[in-house]
Amino acid sequence: MRTTEYDISHPYKAQVLSNDRITPPDTDEVRHLVLSIPDATFNFVEGQSIGVLAPPSADFGNEHHLRLYSIASSRQGEDGNLAEISICVRRCFYIDDISGERHPGIASNYLCDAKPGSDLMITGPYGRQFQAPKDSTANLLMIGIGTGIAPFRAFMKHIYEERKEWQGKVRLFYGARTGMDLLYMNDQNDDLSLYYDQATFKAFEAISTRPHFDEPPDIERCLMDNALEVWEMIQDPKTYIYVSGLSSLERSLDRIMIALAGSEKEWNEIKKKLIAERRWATLFYD
């Protein structure tokens, strides 16, 4: 969906409560922002995103620069504060094809530079395709890279802290270039370690084999190393699969699933069935 198609007619005022870097200095900058949204009509569920209305670049003449960010908190709010949510934002840059100049991405830099105490305008929440099942015996297979971890952080908080009795298997396959880029699983912020002692939860880290060469995380190898369990889960009618992060992940995932299924035709059939049964949900972005 194009950003111009999102309804921004009911914006909310949000105040930045904190803005902390959650990756070390020598890695890509990713920040965890906690926002306070005092308007009680703002409600959301795990897996939804907010829109941030950043001031536009002078070159384009738009009124707003709208970009989406996944909510990283559960429906009970950040740390149980109903009026607060968190997001995690990677500071983006792009290279102009013609001039070769490096330009900062507008919304991500606006958010990464936002000072605690400052106000933002947000919209949404958007998207309902990424919801945890009501049945607590369901299995969750979560596959993500980079900031794609945000909705999974929300899921984990919801199922283990709010619903408490989760019985299905929960498996997280999560990739980053290095161990320190593994968001919410590194020295800067280790929220997900709260769930490591849950009998139903296991996390698998996929990091690049050559991190100094800017290589993508090796999520394919990580899934292949655990092929038996992954494939068993996919074939179990109680499993819900969620995939989140950069759109390049879609191709990686198709490659691995084709290998597991035995052929492209076979995988396409299985995927079609999973989608029809609402057990396959993706959230991709560039």
Residue whose CB is less far from ligand FAD, 204 or 285: 285
Q: Is 135 exposed, middle or buried (CB count within 10 Å of its CB: 0-12, 13-18, 19+)?
A: exposed
CB nearest ligand FAD: which residue? 105
Secondary structure (3-state) at 234: helix
CB of 216 to ligand FAD, least distance (A): 16
Told to check if 285 binds ligand FAD by CB under 6 A, we report yes
CB of 118 to ligand FAD, least distance (A): 17
Residue whose CB is less far from ligand FAD, 140 or 183: 183
Query: Please, which residues bridge with residue 66 across strands?
Result: 53
Q: Which two tokens stand for residue 7?
A: 């309804």
What is the rounded distance in angstroms from the CA atom of residue 272 to the CA atom of residue 268? 6
What is the rounded distance in angstroms from the CA atom of residue 29 to the CA atom of residue 23? 6
Inter-residue contact 284 to 249 (CB < 8 Å): yes
CB of 89 to ligand FAD, least distance (A): 4
Told to check if 243 binds ligand FAD by CB under 6 A, we report no
Handedness of CA 186, 50, 276, 258 (dihedral sign): negative
Told to check if 108 binds ligand FAD by CB under 6 A, we report yes
Secondary structure (3-state) at 51: strand
Within 59-98, the residues that bind ligand FAD by CB under 6 A are 65, 67-70, 87-90, 92, 94, 96
Residue whose CB is less far from ligand FAD, 74 or 139: 74
CB of 225 to ligand FAD, least distance (A): 27
Selected range binding ligand FAD among 12-20, 105-113, 216-224, 255-263, rule: CB under 6 A? 105-113
Within 132-171, the residues that bind ligand FAD by CB under 6 A are 147, 150
Told to check if 283 binds ligand FAD by CB under 6 A, we report yes
What is the rounded distance in angstroms from the CA atom of residue 121 to the CA atom of residue 8? 10
Q: Which two tokens stand for residue 208?
A: 């690049």
Inter-residue contact 88 to 147 (CB < 8 Å): yes
Total residue length of the chain? 286
CB of 258 to ligand FAD, least distance (A): 26
Interface residues toward ligand FAD, by CB under 6 A: 49, 65, 67-70, 87-90, 92, 94, 96, 105-109, 147, 150, 283, 285
